[in-house]
Chains A and B, each alone.
Chain A
Amino acid sequence: MPPRTGERERCVTGIDGLDTILYGGIPRDNTVLLTGSCGTGKTSLALEFLIHGAVAGENSLFISVTENSEKLLANIIPYKFFDRDLIKSGKLVFVDLPAMYERLGMTKAEMTMEEIDLLVAAIGNLAKELGVRRLVMDSITSVCYKLKTPEKIRDFILKLSKTLSDLNCTSVLVSEIAAQSSAYSTFGVEEAISDGIVLMANLERRGDLLRTLQVIKMRGTMHSRAKYVLDLTPMGVLLVPLLKGGSSAT
């Protein structure tokens, strides 16, 4: 869907349903918080966003914080559109953040303000060097555990967001929350400073467990705020509207 005059250029996610919800895609250079509890499909959706980007010729970077990228790739859904040559050709790059911590000498449990600057600069340099247009960090929550205070978390996300935006990079920060949480992030800071929030959840209805997706906010575009049900398939993430007849039932 091409942007209308005066509208911001879009980063087409390649996930049809999501692009429709966002009236054409994520506004370019936005930093989006992709949040949800475990098993809701966050990593799969984030990976698909990167793969579609790489297929479309945009260099894409996955920064893995919690899971070794080899293990991540071993468990990847056998997407019809995924070709391992994307990795070989450098279009799709995986980096493990723990290795980066080690290289930067960040071995302590808590980062200092200087180390935050160092980490943001290192990620920025890597993104610049690789010419990255799409970036995923999975998960930002794990990084936040090393930052400890809301001030440091705020500082880190703001600096990272600005650095990536200045590089014309659209980024998705994966955030983990508890299953019954009413907040959109663990520390309550991440959600306030992101350009967009996409909430993924499990909805129980009469004993059935449905995976849902809802765009809570997205700066720079109109968007649907309705809840959708999703399925993770080899053709990618598919979305359909949640039927309202059952939305109040538990």
Chain B
Amino acid sequence: MTDTRTAGNVARQLNELMPGSAVSLQMSVDSYLDVMRGTLDMYAGKRDMDTIYVTATISFEAIKRIMAALDIDTSRVYFVDCISHIMMGTEAAQKDERASLVESPTMLENIMLKVEYLMRRSQSKEKLVVIDSINSLAIHNNNWILSEFLHILVSGLRAKEAYTIILSVEEHSTPEIASMVNLVCDSGIRAAKEE
């Protein structure tokens, strides 16, 4: 189902990061599952770190289903779901202790607050925050406010020595989005299927 070489490459590059690093992870649409495997299973899972997964693309339930299909352990993944509320499908998230709902992807401050809440709740020494994805957030927000959001969020996480991964989908990216992500990230990883 996933390309283990691509996933392994992602995990290997993530393992080289210093604490507090922010990384831009560019991927093509067909590498999404490899990125998930590399990030959540082969990287965060192996290092016993809690992951805070901000989902602005698909609901947390859908992500959980994908993870289950990939046989990825989700017991240490906490979700900030910005999508279920606008889809009027909050029932599952309200029942799940590991999911925090944000009413809309336009409520960027509330995303920061939920991340902060989960950071405080986490007992894990190392923490990873994944933003999935900057392209989805860009649908709902202008570049100015989104840039401000990234700057404040990443600076705060850096101060707490948490790792940040900002996912972006190549097919949907623009030079403005790439520039905004590069501004706050220390390094970039490109996940593409190996020929």
- Report A's interface with B, CB cutoff 8 A: 205-206, 208, 210, 229-231, 233, 235, 238, 240-246
**If the complex has contacts A245-B142, A245-B144, are A229 and B121 also in contact, measured as CB distance less than 8 A?**
no
Kindly list the 3 A-B residue pairs having the minimum CB-CB distance in the complex, ordered from nearest. Answer: A245-B145, A229-B109, A231-B113
**If the complex has contacts A208-B104, A235-B120, are A245 and B113 also in contact, measured as CB distance less than 8 A?**
no
With CB as the reference atom, state the residue of chain B lying closest to A206: B106
Which chain B positions have C-beta within 8 A of A208? Answer: 103-104, 106-107
In the complex, the answer to whether B110 meets A210 with C-beta atoms within 8 Å is yes
Q: How many residues of B sit at the interface, in one of the four size bands?
A: 20 to 34
**If the complex has contacts A208-B104, A240-B116, are A245 and B148 also in contact, measured as CB distance less than 8 A?**
yes
Contact of A243 among B108, B116, B120 (CB under 8 A): B108
Nearest-Cβ distance from residue B157 to partner chain A, whole angstroms: 12
Counted as pairs of residues, one from A and one from B, with CB atoms less than 8 Å apart, the total is 47
Nearest-Cβ distance from residue B160 to partner chain A, whole angstroms: 12
In the complex, the answer to whether B109 meets A238 with C-beta atoms within 8 Å is no
Fill in one digit per residue for B90-113: 1 if any A CB lies within 8 Å of its CB, else 0. 000000000000011011111011
Question: Does B58 belong to the interface (CB within 8 Å)?
Answer: no
Fill in one digit per residue for B107-127: 1 if any A CB lies within 8 Å of its CB, else 0. 111101110110011000000
In the complex, the answer to whether A243 meets B117 with C-beta atoms within 8 Å is no
The B contact surface, by secondary structure, is: helix
Q: Give CA–CA (A235, B142) in the complex, Å.
A: 31
Which chain B positions have C-beta within 8 A of A233? Answer: 113, 117
Known: A231-B113, A240-B112, A243-B145. 12 other contacts (CB 8 A): A210-B107, A229-B109, A231-B110, A231-B114, A235-B117, A238-B116, A238-B117, A240-B116, A243-B109, A243-B149, A245-B142, A245-B146
Q: Give CA–CA (A235, B113) in the complex, Å.
A: 11
Nearest-Cβ distance from residue A235 to partner chain B, whole angstroms: 5
Q: Give CA–CA (A206, B103) in the complex, Å.
A: 13
Which chain B positions have C-beta within 8 A of A206? Answer: 106
Question: Does B152 belong to the interface (CB within 8 Å)?
Answer: yes
Which chain A positions have C-beta within 8 A of B121? Answer: 235
Which chain B positions have C-beta within 8 A of A241? Answer: 109, 152
Q: Give CA–CA (A198, B24) in the complex, Å.
A: 39
Q: Give CA–CA (A229, B148) in the complex, Å.
A: 14
In the complex, the answer to whether B107 meets A231 with C-beta atoms within 8 Å is no
> Which residues between 132 and 183 of chain B lie within 8 Å of chain A, taking CB atoms?
142, 144-146, 148-149, 152
With CB as the reference atom, state the residue of chain A lying closest to B100: A233
16 contacts between A and B (CB under 8 A): A206-B106, A208-B104, A208-B106, A210-B107, A210-B109, A230-B113, A231-B110, A231-B114, A238-B113, A240-B109, A240-B113, A241-B109, A243-B108, A243-B145, A243-B149, A244-B148
